[in-house]
Structure 1
Amino acid sequence: MGTPLGNFIRAKRDTVQPGPLGLPERQRRRSPGLRRLDLANRADVSVEYLARIEQGRDRNPSPAVVNALADALCLNASERNHLRYLAKITSDSCAVDIRPVPPSRRVRAPVLRTLELLEPGVAIVSNRLGDVLAHTSGYQAVTGGTGLLDADRPNLNHYLFTDPRARTFFADWDDVADEQTFDLWQAPSLENLEWLTAGLTPVAGDEFTRRLNRDTMPRRGVLRLNHPGGHQLRLLREILELPGDSQQLVVFLPEDEATAEALNRLPRRPLGRLRSIS
């Protein structure tokens, strides 16, 4: 049985073409991309060892081997970080005694004060599981009438895969679903990831599980929203990591003048002092 690390390496190997790497093109290949022999030679490891990693029979490659594979596959910075993360969660030390537990929902007071300074802009504090932990009045105005914030504990993944309104609200629903599901691999811990997927998989179905097992980096472009008020919004996302909290401060900025004008016309309700959504 494969592992997230092995699946990702195999998927990337299939996408790398030998020609640009100075390797001969071979006819009658059973699969596209690099042969296992090609990658093993470029990473200076044996074919047998690479096969064990890809097939999940070796779960503890050294950091040197992981970095060598990243070089051999010509991974970009985001892909390298993802490869290192998969190596961490695949290791035997992380694969035992997984007990599903919910992540902490506490947002530190200084982070909440920072969010207040962004009013009346559009911003949230979230985590990699898609929990909306705190938000500005601007974010409430953008999502008003869509159902995204209706739950006591709003979660973007639950909304995307279980609320039909999400497919209308997000103009590029498939791309957003790809992004959110991919980000689950950056969950604060395996226990947190298991906690979310255990509850979401039965109700989200194949659209969710198929993406969760996909090993392709998603495209991240302009976020296009169809507001219930008839506005078409184009937003850029600036993501500020809060690594000590396993959270993110996400600021949404208008991509064009039409979006800026539409945001100014959206009705806003004062939130009072910001607090975590408990």
Structure 2
Amino acid sequence: MTDNQLGEFLRARRAGLRPADVGLAAFGRRRVAGLRREEVAESAGMNTDYYTRLEQGRERNPSPQMLAALSRALLLDEALREHLFRLAGVASTGLPVETVSPVLRQMLETYSAAPAFVMNPAMDMLATNAMADAFFSPYPRIDNLARMTFLEPISRDFCVDWTWTSQAMVAGFRQASTLYPEDPGLRRIIEELTTASGEFAELWHSYTLCVATAEPREFVHPDVGPLRLTYQSFDVRGASGQRLMLYQPEPGPTVEALLRLGTPPDS
């Protein structure tokens, strides 16, 4: 396997584009398939020699700004952009995708065994299934998981281990702010919670760390009582910043409680 995967990716992508794809007029016979190096470099606003060194593997430390410019010049979609940044060993500075795909929404709708939802880095609830709506029904609004946890009084009773939950959320924000420093929604929610919640502000400024675990978490729902749930978080492929959260009930009373929670009162 070559040690110049970044250069190979750039060459392959350049070869797969035509001048018309990027708004260039093609005159005469071209000696290379796809775009010329100088055309990519000019479109990205960089020196042709620098771009050549990237392809040849003689330059291996492009800045996030350079990578963002190449992403635009090579017409990379979100998945390919993320791949480019990973090849360069750089955290993506792109903005998260806010729209949940119809396919993922349909999957959520058909998953009825336990709560499931999609969040962005700011912990906005972008999509929920019916069980998640029932699970979070004690809250006045189901909009942002961090806002619900820190600003709604019900969360202290709802989350049995509220201290761990709050620490985990702040740790998640800290990681997200590194990956998406330009995300305005993330900045807004951090500023809002820092102002509105002394506990959030203390955790945020103290750099308290929280190690993620797979241990079950306990909740108390006012309608069905105690619940023990584990959860898994999955990055949504092709949708930068989106995470699919799937809860799983512990065997026993929680399974029965979720069945009651998911059954309409008049059925």
TM-score normalised according to structure 1 size: 0.55
Q: Distance in 2 between matches of 1:228 and 1:201?
A: 29
Tell me the equivalent position of 1:39: none
Tell me the equivalent position of 2:230: 236
Tell me the equivalent position of 2:100: 107
- Between the two proteins, the alignment pairs up a number of residues equal to 172
For the aligned residue pairs, the C-alpha RMSD in angstroms reads: 2.9
Aligned mate of 2:181, from 182, 187, 190: 190
Tell me the equivalent position of 2:11: none
Cα distance, 1:140 vs structure 2: 1.3
Q: Is the 8 A contact 2:167 2:208 kept in 1?
A: no
Cα distance, 1:216 vs structure 2: 1.9
Aligned mate of 1:209, from 197, 201, 213: 201
Would you identify which runs of 4 or more consecutive aligned residues in structure 1 move more than 4 Å? none
Counting only pairs closer than 5 Å after superposition, residues 65-104 of structure 1 correspond to structure 2 as: 104=97
Q: Distance in 1 between matches of 2:104 and 2:249?
A: 23
- Paired residue secondary structure (1:175): helix
Aligned mate of 1:173, from 162, 186, 189: 162
- Identity among equivalent positions (%) equals 27
1:255 aligns with 2:241: no
Cα distance, 1:268 vs structure 2: 4.3
1:140 aligns with 2:133: yes
Q: Which has the bigger relative contact order, CA under 8 A and spacing at least 6?
A: 1
When residues 186 and 127 of structure 1 are mapped into structure 2, their CA distance, relative to the original with a 3 A threshold, is farther
- Paired residue secondary structure (2:238): coil
Q: Is the 8 A contact 2:217 2:228 kept in 1?
A: yes
Q: Distance in 2 between matches of 1:136 and 1:178?
A: 26
Q: Distance in 1 between matches of 2:224 and 2:103?
A: 36
1:199-256 alpha-carbon deviations (Å, 9 max, x no partner): 2211112x11222231423343312111012510000102221153211111111112
- Paired residue secondary structure (1:190): coil
Q: Distance in 2 between matches of 1:195 and 1:107?
A: 21
Q: Is the 8 A contact 1:120 1:137 kept in 2?
A: no
Letter in 2 for 1:208: F
Unaligned runs of 5+ in 1: 1-61, 63-83, 95-101, 270-278
Q: Is the 8 A contact 1:146 1:228 kept in 2?
A: no
When residues 103 and 196 of structure 1 are mapped into structure 2, their CA distance, relative to the original with a 3 A threshold, is farther
Q: Distance in 1 between matches of 2:162 and 2:190?
A: 20
Tell me the equivalent position of 2:5: none
Cα distance, 1:195 vs structure 2: 2.4
- Paired residue secondary structure (1:256): coil
Letter in 1 for 2:220: N
Unaligned runs of 5+ in 2: 1-60, 62-85
When residues 197 and 139 of structure 1 are mapped into structure 2, their CA distance, relative to the original with a 3 A threshold, is same
Question: Which one has a bigger Cα radius of gyration?
Answer: 2
Q: Is the 8 A contact 2:193 2:201 kept in 1?
A: no
Q: Is the 8 A contact 2:119 2:243 kept in 1?
A: yes
Aligned mate of 2:217, from 223, 235, 250: 223
1:86-118 alpha-carbon deviations (Å, 9 max, x no partner): x967xxxx8xxxxxxx95531111211221231
Tell me the equivalent position of 2:52: none
Q: Distance in 2 between matches of 1:119 and 1:259?
A: 14
Instruction: Name which of structure 1's ranges 220-229 and 210-219 shifts more when overlaid on structure 2.
Output: 210-219
Q: Distance in 1 between matches of 2:187 and 2:136?
A: 28
